[in-house]
């Protein structure tokens, strides 16, 4: 029996070895390298690096540009996350009631997910062009003034947030539809016997509690994707106008590939990873506490 157990363990270890090797090579070792670089003054093209301790992190704390990108990122997340999560849940409930048209609507909402992010951002650049864009042409036909969606500091971040909602909505809808499909119809019948026979009461007493695990997953994924926004900024605004759309990952990109300050970029990457991890932990604890109280 002991020999059989040892054999199974060896087989299990051998089966896990390829995945463990990839995890080590693609995640653990690069993370250690980034952490190590964050304590140096290394720059691209330099022959070596000098250990500077916590200086890179102290510089981040006094960087006005970083504070601006953090504020923009926070505002972007505050707009995109609630709208794309709440809107997706509402649309998923409506789509569930559709019959023959449901596959059509699912395809339409999922199209942004299938498009590459750079191609999608380029398409939006054409749509929002101040002179010949579809959006401004429609505004002119309706008698409104043309808007500089991406070149006016007062509208640029809101425009990027609207694009963010558009590209995240379809994925979230499909996740909620999958969750709704797993709800036992008998739960609604039991709720109806207890007096919860109307749409809102059925939704709050049956649908929402049952969807809690799916909602947790959607919330965490949406928050991480929102905080990690990069492609639309890089293609559409490059952080402008006047820093109005400068966001965390774009600031990191500029530090590394425009200013070639790898040490500062590594420190910012560590802060970013800690922020994403903290958001995930807070969301999990919040939903766990809600489930416990429920």
Q: For residue range 133-144, list pLDDT tens digits in order.
A: 899 999 999 988
- Percent of the chain, pLDDT > 90? 44
The answer to whether the beta carbons of residues 247 and 69 sit under 8 Å apart is yes
pLDDT at residue 109 in the model: 75
pLDDT over 50 (residue 45): yes
Mean pLDDT to the nearest integer, 102-122: 75
pLDDT over 80 (residue 273): yes
pLDDT at residue 292 in the model: 46
pLDDT at residue 291 in the model: 53
Mean pLDDT to the nearest integer, 189-200: 72
pLDDT over 80 (residue 102): no
pLDDT over 60 (residue 293): no
| Tokens read off for 274 | 């800690």
The answer to whether the beta carbons of residues 149 and 130 sit under 8 Å apart is yes
pLDDT over 80 (residue 193): no
Q: Write out the DSSP string of 130-179.
A: TTT-HHHHHHHHTTPPP--TTTSTTTHHHHHHHHHHHHHHHHHHHHHHHH
Write the pLDDT tens digit of every residue in 135-174.
Answer: 999 999 998 889 999 999 999 999 999 999 998 998 999 8
Q: Which long-range contacts (CB under 8 A, 24 or more apart) does 53-60 make?
A: 56/263, 56/264, 56/266, 56/267, 57/267, 57/271, 59/264, 59/267, 60/264, 60/267, 60/268, 60/271
Peptide bond into 30 cis (omega under 30): no
The more confidently predicted of residues 5 and 184 is 184
pLDDT at residue 238 in the model: 93
Write the pLDDT tens digit of every residue in 203-254.
Answer: 888 888 889 889 988 998 999 999 999 988 998 999 999 999 999 999 999 9
pLDDT at residue 280 in the model: 79
């Amino acid at each position: 029996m002991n020999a059989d157990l040892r054999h199974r363990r060896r087989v299990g270890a051998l089966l896990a070895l390829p995945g463990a090797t990839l995890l080590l090579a693609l995640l653990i070792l690069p993370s250690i390298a980034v952490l190590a670089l964050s304590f140096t003054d290394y720059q691209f093209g330099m022959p070596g690096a000098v250990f500077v301790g916590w200086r890179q992190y102290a510089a981040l704390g006094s960087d006005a540009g970083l504070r601006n990108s953090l504020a923009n990122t926070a505002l972007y997340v505050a707009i995109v996350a609630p709208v794309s999560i709440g809107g997706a849940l509402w649309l998923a409930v409506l789509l569930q009631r559709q019959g023959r048209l449901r596959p059509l609507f699912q395809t339409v909402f999922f199209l942004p997910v299938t498009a590459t992010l750079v191609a999608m951002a380029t398409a939006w650049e054409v749509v929002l062009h101040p002179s010949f864009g579809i959006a401004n042409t429609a505004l002119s036909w309706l008698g409104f003034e043309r808007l500089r969606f991406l070149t006016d500091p007062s509208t640029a971040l809101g425009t990027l947030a609207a694009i963010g909602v558009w590209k995240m909505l379809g994925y979230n809808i499909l996740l909620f539809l999958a969750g709704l499909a797993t709800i036992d119809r008998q739960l609604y019948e039991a709720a109806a016997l207890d007096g919860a026979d109307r749409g809102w009461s059925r939704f709050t007493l049956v649908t929402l509690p049952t969807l809690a695990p799916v909602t947790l997953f959607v919330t965490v994924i949406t928050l991480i994707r929102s905080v990690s926004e990069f492609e639309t900024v890089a293609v559409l605004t490059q952080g402008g106008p006047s820093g109005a759309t400068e966001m965390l990952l774009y600031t990191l990109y500029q530090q590394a590939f425009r200013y070639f300050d790898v040490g500062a970029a590594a420190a910012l990457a560590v802060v970013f990873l800690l922020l994403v991890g903290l958001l995930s932990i807070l969301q999990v604890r919040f939903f766990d506490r809600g489930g416990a109280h429920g």
